[in-house]
A and B are shown apart, each in its own frame.
Chain A
Amino acid sequence: MGANLVNLNVNPCKMCMPMGAVSAFYGLKGCMTILHGSQGCATYIRRHMATHYNEPVDVASSSLTEEGTVFGGETNLIRGIENLISLYSPEIIGVATTCLAETIGEDVGAIIRKFYDAHPDAKVKIINASSAGYAGTQYEGFFRVLRAVVEQTPMDTNPSQSVNIIAPMLSPADFRQLKKLLESMGLSYILLPDLSENLDGIHEKHYKRIKSGGTPLGEIARMAGAKYTIELSRFISEDDSPAQYLNEQFGVPFERLAMPAGIRDTDALIEKLVELGGRKTPELMRERGRYIDAMIDSHKYCALGRAAVFGEPDFVYSVIRLCCENGVIPVLAATGSVCPALRPALEEEIRKCADRQLVEKTVILDDCDFDMIESVSRELGVNVMIGSSDGRRAAHRLGVDLVRCAFPIHDRVGGQRVRMIGYGGSLNLLDQIANILLGNQEERFRGEIYDSFFETARHTGQAKKPEGTLQTIAQRTASHPCYTCGGGKYARMHLPVAPKCNIQCNYCVRKYDCPNESRPGVTTQVLTPEEALEKYKLVKKQVENLTVIGIAGPGDALANFEQTRDTLRLIREYDPDVTFCLSTNGLMLPLYAQELVDLGVSHVTVTINAVDVEIGAKIYKYVDYMGTRYTGVAAASILLGNQLAGLRYLTEHGIICKVNTVVLRGINEEHIEEVIKKVRDLGAYISNIMQMIPVAGSAFENMELVSNREISEIRNKCSVDLKQMYHCRQCRADAIGTLDNDVSIEFRGGCGTGEEQAALPVKKYAVASKSGMLVDQHFGHADTFYIYESDGTTARFVEKRQVNHYCTGKEDCLDDKQSKMDLILSTVADCSGVLALRIGNAPLEKLESKGIKAVTTYDRIENAVKQAASQ
C-alpha cells in the first residue's frame, strides 16, 4: 500500500538526502563537509546530529543568498572551500548539494575544477555529490556519497587479498562491533565508511577540530584491487551502489547482503566472510550460542508482541526479520522512503510469522508518514514500536512503548551507542523488545485478568478485593469533574446520606423530597450507608465514566459523620479506585479532618462565605456546636475558626480543597476577595464563587441577586489569587452523571407525574434539553430548544430550534451577550413558557417581560410540559 495518494505529509517518517550525505562524509578520515546552498540546511543538520550523537558536528555552508540564486554560487563555494582549508586543514572536503543548488542547476564539478586551477598546489581532495533534498531520502544520500567517493578517488588497481565492506548508516557502536567481528575473523578488509570514532569520541584533554577516525583516502584507493565487495544494503539502487561501480569499472565481484541483524542475516554475513577466507573463532560461536539461548529464554514474552517497525528500508527489513525469528509479529512494516521493493522482500516472511499465531492482518507501507503509521498501528493493535525517536508522539498517543534504535534519537542519550547488529547487537535489541513486552505484561496483568475473568465473582463479593490503589491525587484531580474545567467527560455521583445540618444559613432551606428543584440541599430521598452502596453498584454498572463519589448533604456531611464514614468505608471496600469527595460547612472539620484523611478522601469542599465574623453573623442564623446553639457573632466566630483551622489541616495533609463562596448582595459582595486571599494562604486549590439561589421560605428569599456579570467580575479579580471554577452547576445532593448531564432521574424509585386534568387550551413550550428526554440543561447553555405543544393532559413534540447559545459560562461572553440573548428570546418568542434546569435572573426577567413563563425543573420533558401547561 503506497501512501502516495496524499499530498500532505503529516509528521514525516524520513529525512532528506543532505542529512545522509553529511553522515557518510563523517566516515572518511580528515574530512570536512560543506553544503552548497543556504546556510539553514547545515544548521538544521548539525542540530539534529549533535542531539543524537552528543558530539559537536561541524558542517560548513556556502551560505548562498538571494544574489547567489541569480548569479550562481561559484564565488561563495570557492570562498567556503578556501576558508575551510585555512581554518581546519582537512585532507578531504566533501561538497554536497542541497535543494537550492540543484534547483538553480549548479555545476559543482566545474566549480571544483576552477578551484584547483586557482590553487594548483592545494593538497586537499574534494569529493562532490549531488544530493537534492527532493531527490531522495537519507539512506539514498548516504550511499550516493559513498558512490561518489569511490568514483572520484584515484584508484590503485593492484590486486590485494582485501575484502571491501560497504556499510549502511549504523551507530558508531555498531561500526565498532562490525570492525571487531571482521578483525576477529582474521580478514584483511577495507571498511567504507568508518563511523566508529568520529561521532562517538572519547574524553580527551585537547579538543580536536577534526577527529582522527574514518576511512583514509589511501585505503579507499585500494578498493579497486580488492578480491571481493560485500555491500550491506539490499535496497539501494544500482546507480548509487559503490559495489556495482567497483564491479563495472574494476571487475571486483560483489554480493549485497542485508544489514546483519538477527540470526539469519548475521549468519549470512559470517558464512560469506568464511567463504572469503575468514575463520569463526570460538568466542564468536559462543556469542551466537548466547544469542540463541536468549531467543529461547524470551520467546514467551516475544510471542505477545505486535510490532510496528518504521525507518529506512534496510533497517526495517532486518529488524522485521529479527522480530519474525523471535516470534514478535511485525504487524506493520513502514518506511517513509519511496521503496516499492520492500513489500515483495518482506511479504512472505511476515505472512508466515503471523499465520503461526493466527494474526490475520499485517501491513507493509512505503512512502508513508507518521499520521498513517499511527492510524494503522491503532487498527492493528500494535503493542511495541521500533524505530527512531520520531515515533515518540505516535507511541505516546497509542499508549505503547518505543524501542529507540535508529537515527535520530532526540529524547534519550546514547544514540551513538545503539547496538543492533551481529549476535551481540541482536541480543541487545531482542532484550529491549522482550523487556517492553514483559514489562507490559507484569504491569497490566492483574487489571486485565481480574476484570475479564473474575468480574462476576467480584460482584457477588466472593473474590478478594484487590490491594492498593494506583491513582495519585493529581490523577484523581484530573478526573474530577468539579476540579478540572473541561473534566466534563467524567461523571460523579452524589450520595444523599447526610440529612442533618448543624448550622442554619439564611439562604438555605433543606427539602428532602422535591424532584423538581435542582440545587444544593435538595434530594428526593435520604439513603442509609448500605443503600448508598447498593445504589453505587447499580450506577457504576451503567455509568462507565463514574470516577467520583461525593457526599454533599443534603445536610452537612460532617454533621452526620457516622453515616458518612460508614458509606465511604463500604464503598472503598467495594471499589478501591473511586475518588472520594465531600462537602461541608467546616464546623466539624477540626474534629474529623484526620479521619477523612484516613478514609482516603482526596477532595473536600468547604463553604466559606466570610472571613469576618461581623459579616458572618449576618449570614448564619445559628450554629449548633457541642450541644449548644450559638447565634450572632459568637456563632460566626466558632464557625470561622473551625473552618480555617480545618482547611489548613486538610491542605497540609495533601487533600485538595475547594472553597465555595456564595455572593450575597449587600452582605459579602465586597468581601469576597478577602475571603479568597485568606483561603489561598491556607492552601486552597480552587475557589468557586457562586450566585445565591433564592429559595422560597429562606430568610434571604427576597434578596436582590448579584448578576452573572458581577459574579464574573468578582471571579476575574480573584483569579489573580486563586484558580477559579467557572463551570459550577450547583448540583443537587443526589446528582448523578457528568456536570452537564444529570441522569439521576433514571435511578429514582418513581418520579412525580402530573395528574390527569381537564383539557386546557393548547400552548407551546420551549424546553432546554441535552438529551431530548429530560429537562436537563441550563437556559443559557442551550443551543437547541425542543418545542412542545401541550393542553395540560398530553404533550406533543413539534420541532427543534437552533440558537447560537449565548453563555459558555466563561468570561469571554460578556461583550455580545446582550445581542445573543435577544436572539434566544426571539427563538422562543411564540411560546407560552420556557422549561430549563436553571435560568439566570436577567433572562428570567426578560422572559417575564415578554409574558413568557419560565419554569425551572428537572424531570422528563413530557411530564414537565404537561405540568407547566396544567398550571
Chain B
Amino acid sequence: MDERTRLLDKYSARIYKNRKEHVIQLQEDPAGQEITANTRTIPGIITNRGCCYAGCKGVVVGPLKDCCVITHGPIGCGFYSWGTRRNKAQAEEGEQNFVPYCLSTDMQESDIVFGGEKKLKKAIQEAVEIFHPKCILICSTCPIGLIGDDVQSVARQTEAEYGIKCIGFSCEGYKGVSQSAGHHIANNGLMQHIIGTGDKRPAKKYSLNILGEYNIGGDGWEQERILKRVGYEVVSVFTGDGSYETMKNAHLANLNLVMCHRSINYVAEMMHTKYGIDWLKVNFIGVGATIQSLRDIAKYFNDPELTERTEEVIRDELAEILDDMEYYKNKLKGKTAGIFVGGSRSHHYQKLLEDLGVETVIAGYEFAHRDDYEGREVLPFLKEDADSKNIETITVAPDEKLYQQRFSQEEIEKLREEIPLDTYDGMIRDMKSGHMVVDDYNHFETEMLIKLMKPDIFFSGIKDKYVIQKGGTPSRQMHSYDYAGPYAGFKGAVNFAKDITMAMYTSAWAFVTPPWKSDPILVGSLTGGE
C-alpha cells in the first residue's frame, strides 16, 4: 500500500470520492499528472482555507499603505484581518501609512435590517476628515451582498464628492470557494480603477513592477534592494509596501515580474493585453532561484552592460553569504520537508530548501488552481464551474495610445525558449517521483501525512503549526514567518537557514519523541501460534 492509499483509507466512501482527486503521489515523470483543485471545500472538514474577503482585503488590497481600507460589515472581519499578516510597510516621506489601522463600519442589527449604505457614507466622510487619504478602498463582508448595499455606487459618489479615488470591492466571504476568488476581485478593481491613471514615467532605462509580493517579514525590501543594486527601477510593488501613488504608474514600467502567480496573474495578463507589458515568472526565494530570476530578467533586456552588472551583483552577494550557507547546509543536508501554504510559496520554498540540501517530499496548496500545480498549459482545458462563474472576468483591449510591444512575436517565441515569459509551468514539474502533492489539506490529512512521510520539518500556517510541533515535528509558519524574516533573496536565505537550523536543533526536542519514531503505524498480530 503506498502512502496515498493509506492516507485515503480512513475516509468514508463519499469523502474518499471527493478527496482522491486532490491527492496525488508523483510518478516517474511528474509532467502531465492531473490534480483537482479550486473546488468547494467539504463542509465539516477542518479546512485551512479562508474566504473571499480574506483574499481581497487581507491579501491583495490591505497592504496598499496610502489607502484607507474600510471593511464594510459587522466588526469581526475587520478585527480578524487587522495586522495578522505581517505585510510590512514603511510610509514614504511626507505620506501616510494606514497598514497598522483597522477601519470598519461596525454594522449593528439595525443596519442589517435597514441597509448600511448610509452608515458607510458617513464612515467615509469621517475617514476623509480624520485621515485625508488619497484613496479609499471599501471591502464588503458577507451581509453586504445579501442586504443589497451598493458599494460601487457609494464609491462613485465618494469620488465625485471628495475628489479622491474610491473603489468598492464586492468581496463577500461566501463568493467563490476560497481566498482565491477575492484575489481575482481585487485584481479586477486595481486594473479598472488604479493602474494606468498616472503619467509619471520611470527615470531609469530599465524599469520593473514586482507583482504578487506582499513583503511578509520584509521579503519585498530584500528583492527591491537586489534589483536596485543591479540598476533597475522598481516602479511599483503589488502590493507589499505598495501604494496607490506608485501603482497608478505601473503601466509605464518595462516588465512585470510575477512572484505569487495565483494571486496576481490576472493583473499580469490584463496588463499584457492592454499595455503590451510582458510578465516574467520569477522566484526570489532561494539563492539559486534568485540568481536564475536575475539572469532571466537580464536576458529579457538583453543589454551586455546590464548582464555584466547582474553577474557582478550575483558574485558580490554570493561572496557575502557563502560561508553562512555552507555552515547551515552542513547542518541540514539530507533532511526532508513538507510544505503546505497558500498558492505559491509551496513551490518557491522548494528551491530554497534545495539550496540547503533539503528535499521536499510533501507539498500542497490551500487555494491554488490547477495551473499552479500543472502549469498554465492546462488553462484551456479547465471547465468553469458555478463558483468560478460568479466571479467576474473582465476583458481588456489594447490601449490605443499606450499599447507597446517590446518584441515581435517571433522574438518572443525565441525568448520563451529560454525564459518563462508570460507563462508559468507549475509546481509539479519540479518535484520527484514518490512525492505527495495534496490540494486543500485539512487537519486530518496533515496529521496522517506527517505519520506516513515522516518529514524532518513541516512548513505550514498558524492554524496547524501547533498540531505539528506538539506532535514532535519542527514547524515553521510560512504565512507569516513566526515573527521573523525576510527569507527572500540572498540575505533572506541565510535568515531562513538559520531559523530552520534553530528549529531542528533546539535542545527542547531532546525531551520529546514523536510517536511515529517509536510506534508502528500498522498494528498487526500473529495468528495461529500459541
Q: How far is the CA of A209 from the CA of B443 in the complex (A)?
A: 10
Contact A99–B47 (Cβ < 8 Å): no
Q: Which residues of B contact A16 (CB under 8 A)?
A: 74-76, 79
Which of A256-264, A292-300, A513-521, A714-722 lies at the interface with chain B?
Answer: A714-722
Contact A50–B465 (Cβ < 8 Å): yes
The answer to whether A43 and B146 touch (CB under 8 A), given A9-B75, A811-B203, is no
Contact A43–B48 (Cβ < 8 Å): yes
Q: How far is the CA of A83 from the CA of B100 in the complex (A)?
A: 39
B160 is an interface residue with CB less than 8 A from chain A: no
Contact A64–B174 (Cβ < 8 Å): yes
> B115-135: contact bitstring with A at CB < 8 Å (1 yes, 0 no)?
000011011101100100000
A46 is an interface residue with CB less than 8 A from chain B: yes
Chain A interface helix/strand/loop/mixed: mixed
Which of B228-236, B296-304, B322-330, B428-436 lies at the interface with chain A?
Answer: B228-236
Contact B387–A63 (Cβ < 8 Å): no
B273 is an interface residue with CB less than 8 A from chain A: no
Q: Which residues of A contact B45 (CB under 8 A)?
A: 60, 83, 87
> B40-69: contact bitstring with A at CB < 8 Å (1 yes, 0 no)?
111111111111111000000000000000
Q: How far is the CA of A79 from the CA of B14 in the complex (A)?
A: 10
Contact B50–A43 (Cβ < 8 Å): yes
Contact B101–A11 (Cβ < 8 Å): yes
> A488-511: contact bitstring with B at CB < 8 Å (1 yes, 0 no)?
000000000000000000000000
Minimal Cβ-Cβ distance residue in B for A138: B76
Minimal Cβ-Cβ distance residue in B for A46: B463
Q: How distant is B49 from chain A, measured CB to nearest CB, in Å? A: 6
Q: How far is the CA of A14 from the CA of B54 in the complex (A)?
A: 19
Q: Which of A11, A44, A98 has the most CB of B within 10 A?
A: A44
CB contact list, A70-96 vs B, under 8 A:
76-77, 79-84, 86-87
A359 is an interface residue with CB less than 8 A from chain B: no
Q: Which residues of A contact B420 (CB under 8 A)?
A: none
Contact B386–A67 (Cβ < 8 Å): yes
Contact B80–A68 (Cβ < 8 Å): no
Contact B126–A6 (Cβ < 8 Å): yes
Contact of B74 (CB < 8 Å), options: A59, A132, A485, A486: A132
A7 is an interface residue with CB less than 8 A from chain B: yes
A56 is an interface residue with CB less than 8 A from chain B: yes
Q: Which residues of B contact A104 (CB under 8 A)?
A: 146
A38 is an interface residue with CB less than 8 A from chain B: yes
Contact of B174 (CB < 8 Å), options: A34, A100, A721: A100
Q: How far is the CA of A67 from the CA of B122 in the complex (A)?
A: 32
Q: Which residues of B contact A7 (CB under 8 A)?
A: 105-106, 119-120, 122-123, 126
Contact A63–B123 (Cβ < 8 Å): no
Contact of B50 (CB < 8 Å), options: A14, A40, A393: A40
Contact of B44 (CB < 8 Å), options: A34, A54, A56: A34
CB contact list, A1-32 vs B, under 8 A:
6-12, 14-19
Contact A134–B42 (Cβ < 8 Å): no
Contact of B79 (CB < 8 Å), options: A12, A17, A42, A716: A12
Contact B146–A69 (Cβ < 8 Å): yes
The answer to whether A207 and B447 touch (CB under 8 A), given A40-B51, A60-B46, is yes
Q: Which residues of B contact A46 (CB under 8 A)?
A: 46, 463
Contact A38–B463 (Cβ < 8 Å): no
Minimal Cβ-Cβ distance residue in B for A76: B43
A125 is an interface residue with CB less than 8 A from chain B: no
Q: How distant is A239 from chain B, measured CB to nearest CB, in Å? A: 14
Q: Which residues of A contact B403 (CB under 8 A)?
A: none
Contact of A10 (CB < 8 Å), options: B74, B103, B120: B103
Q: How far is the CA of A717 from the CA of B205 in the complex (A)?
A: 11
Q: How far is the CA of A570 from the CA of B387 in the complex (A)?
A: 76
Q: Which residues of A contact B50 (CB under 8 A)?
A: 39-40, 43-44
The answer to whether A100 and B43 touch (CB under 8 A), given A7-B122, A44-B54, is no
Please classify how large the interface on chain B is, using the bins under 10, 10 to 19, 20 to 34, 35 or more: 35 or more
- Count how many chain A residues have C-beta atoms less than 8 Å from C-beta atoms of the other chain: 85
Contact A99–B471 (Cβ < 8 Å): no
A696 is an interface residue with CB less than 8 A from chain B: no
Q: Which residues of A contact B12 (CB under 8 A)?
A: 86
> A163-200: contact bitstring with B at CB < 8 Å (1 yes, 0 no)?
00000000000000000000000000000000000000
Minimal Cβ-Cβ distance residue in B for A488: B93
B466 is an interface residue with CB less than 8 A from chain A: yes
Q: How distant is B26 from chain A, measured CB to nearest CB, in Å? A: 26
Q: Which of B80, B107, B146 has the most CB of A within 10 A?
A: B80
Contact B464–A56 (Cβ < 8 Å): yes
Q: How distant is B116 from chain A, measured CB to nearest CB, in Å? A: 10
Q: How far is the CA of A16 from the CA of B176 in the complex (A)?
A: 24
Q: How distant is A151 from chain B, measured CB to nearest CB, in Å? A: 21
The answer to whether A63 and B47 touch (CB under 8 A), given A16-B74, A812-B200, is yes
Contact B123–A39 (Cβ < 8 Å): no
Contact A44–B447 (Cβ < 8 Å): no
Q: How far is the CA of A9 from the CA of B75 in the complex (A)?
A: 8
Contact of B78 (CB < 8 Å), options: A12, A41, A66, A137: A12
Q: Which residues of B contact A18 (CB under 8 A)?
A: 76
A61 is an interface residue with CB less than 8 A from chain B: yes
Q: How far is the CA of A16 from the CA of B71 in the complex (A)?
A: 14
Q: How far is the CA of A37 from the CA of B48 in the complex (A)?
A: 15
Contact B112–A134 (Cβ < 8 Å): yes
The answer to whether A40 and B112 touch (CB under 8 A), given A63-B43, A83-B42, is no
Contact B46–A58 (Cβ < 8 Å): yes
Q: How distant is B150 from chain A, measured CB to nearest CB, in Å? A: 16
Q: Which residues of A contact B228 (CB under 8 A)?
A: 719-720
Q: How distant is B517 from chain A, measured CB to nearest CB, in Å? A: 10
Q: How far is the CA of A341 from the CA of B122 in the complex (A)?
A: 27
Q: Which residues of B contact A40 (CB under 8 A)?
A: 50-54, 77, 173
Contact A80–B43 (Cβ < 8 Å): yes
Q: Which residues of A contact B471 (CB under 8 A)?
A: 207
B512 is an interface residue with CB less than 8 A from chain A: yes
> A696-720: contact bitstring with B at CB < 8 Å (1 yes, 0 no)?
0000000000000000000011011
Contact A60–B43 (Cβ < 8 Å): yes
Q: How far is the CA of A70 from the CA of B70 in the complex (A)?
A: 27
Q: How distant is A686 from chain B, measured CB to nearest CB, in Å? A: 15
Q: Which residues of B contact A410 (CB under 8 A)?
A: 84
Q: How distant is B66 from chain A, measured CB to nearest CB, in Å? A: 15
A376 is an interface residue with CB less than 8 A from chain B: no
B109 is an interface residue with CB less than 8 A from chain A: yes
Q: How distant is B477 from chain A, measured CB to nearest CB, in Å? A: 10
Contact of A65 (CB < 8 Å), options: B83, B177, B229: B177
> A716-731: contact bitstring with B at CB < 8 Å (1 yes, 0 no)?
1101110000000000
Q: How far is the CA of A44 from the CA of B142 in the complex (A)?
A: 14
Q: How far is the CA of A16 from the CA of B78 in the complex (A)?
A: 10
Q: How far is the CA of A11 from the CA of B443 in the complex (A)?
A: 32
Q: How distant is B268 from chain A, measured CB to nearest CB, in Å? A: 26
Q: How far is the CA of A209 from the CA of B105 in the complex (A)?
A: 37
Contact B44–A15 (Cβ < 8 Å): no
B153 is an interface residue with CB less than 8 A from chain A: no
Q: How far is the CA of A229 from the CA of B444 in the complex (A)?
A: 40
A825 is an interface residue with CB less than 8 A from chain B: no
Q: CB within 8 Å of A: which residues of B?
A: 12, 15, 40-54, 70, 73-84, 93-94, 100-109, 111-112, 119-120, 122-124, 126-127, 130, 141-143, 145-147, 172-178, 200-201, 203-204, 228-231, 386-387, 390, 443-444, 447, 461-467, 470-471, 512-513, 515
A-B pairs with beta carbons under 8 Å apart, 29 shown: A7-B126, A8-B103, A8-B104, A9-B104, A9-B106, A12-B104, A16-B74, A18-B76, A38-B51, A38-B173, A39-B41, A39-B51, A40-B54, A40-B77, A43-B50, A44-B54, A47-B84, A47-B462, A50-B466, A58-B46, A66-B175, A80-B43, A83-B42, A99-B74, A99-B112, A132-B74, A134-B108, A203-B512, A815-B201
Known contacts A38-B173, A201-B470, A205-B513; 14 further A-B pairs (Cβ under 8 A)? A12-B102, A15-B76, A39-B47, A40-B77, A44-B76, A46-B46, A47-B463, A48-B80, A61-B41, A67-B386, A99-B143, A132-B74, A371-B130, A716-B203
For the complex of A and B, the 5 pairs showing the least CB-CB separation, nearest first, are: A40-B51, A16-B76, A80-B44, A83-B44, A80-B43
